Amino acid sequence: MSDGTVFPQIEWANPFSEERKELYKLEKYLEPGTACNVTLRGNNTDRDVQYTAKLITYYKDNNSRSRQMRGERIENTVEVEAIYGEIYYTVNNTVVPTTTTTTTTTTTTTTTTPAPTQAPSSLEKEDVGMIMDSNDILVDNSEGMVKAPPMKEDINRSVVGGLGSKPENGANTRIICFTLFVPIIALLL
Asked if the structure places residue 89 within a domain, the reply is yes
Q: In the chain, which residue ranges form alpha helices assigned H by DSSP?
A: 122-126, 134-138, 171-188
Asked if the structure places residue 51 within a domain, the reply is yes
Domain count, the chain: 1
Asked if the structure places residue 149 within a domain, the reply is no
Q: What is the pLDDT of residue 158?
A: 46
Q: Which domain holds residue 33?
A: 7-97
- Assign residue 147 a region (left: φ > 0; alpha: ψ between -120 and 50; beta: otherwise): beta
The number of beta carbons lying within 10 Å of the beta carbon of residue 158 is 13
Asked if the structure places residue 109 within a domain, the reply is no
Q: Which residue has the higher pLDDT, 44 or 108?
A: 44
Least Cα distance to 36 among 46, 28, 48 occurs for 28
Asked if the structure places residue 34 within a domain, the reply is yes
pTM for this model (two decimals): 0.33
Average pLDDT in the 65-83 region? 85
Asked if the structure places residue 82 within a domain, the reply is yes
Least Cα distance to 166 among 152, 177, 155 occurs for 155
Let me know: does 54 contact 68? Beta carbons within 8 Å. yes
- Tell me the average pLDDT of the chain: 69
What 3-state DSSP class applies to 72?
strand
Let me know: does 87 contact 30? Beta carbons within 8 Å. yes
Reported as type and span, the H/E element at residue 4 is: none
Chain segment 123-181, per-residue pLDDT in tens:
444 544 445 554 544 445 555 455 555 555 554 444 444 444 455 555 555 566 666 66
Q: Which residue has the higher pLDDT, 13 or 83?
A: 83
Whether 68 shows a pLDDT value over 80: the answer reads yes
Asked if the structure places residue 140 within a domain, the reply is no
Chain segment 92-111, per-residue pLDDT in tens:
989 988 765 555 555 555 55
Specify the DSSP class assigned to residue 132. -
Asked if the structure places residue 165 within a domain, the reply is no
